[in-house]
Amino acid sequence: MELKYDIYTLNNAQGTGEKRQYVRIVQHEPMTEKQLQEKIQNRCSLTKGDVAAVLAELHDLMVEEFSLGHRFYIPEIGYFSMSASLEMPEENPDKKITGKEVRITGINFRPEGKLM
Provide the phi-psi class of 51: left if phi over 0, else alpha when psi is between -120 and 50, else beta: alpha
Given a contact cutoff of 8 angstroms between Cβ atoms, the answer to whether 84 and 108 are in contact is: no
In this predicted structure, what is the pLDDT of residue 93?
A: 66
pTM for this one? 0.71
Could you tell me the residue ranges of all domains in the chain?
Answer: 71-116
Average confidence (pLDDT) per 10 residues, the chain, 116 residues: 86 74 90 95 95 96 95 96 85 74 90 91
CA–CA distance, 31 with 51 (Å, rounded to integer): 14
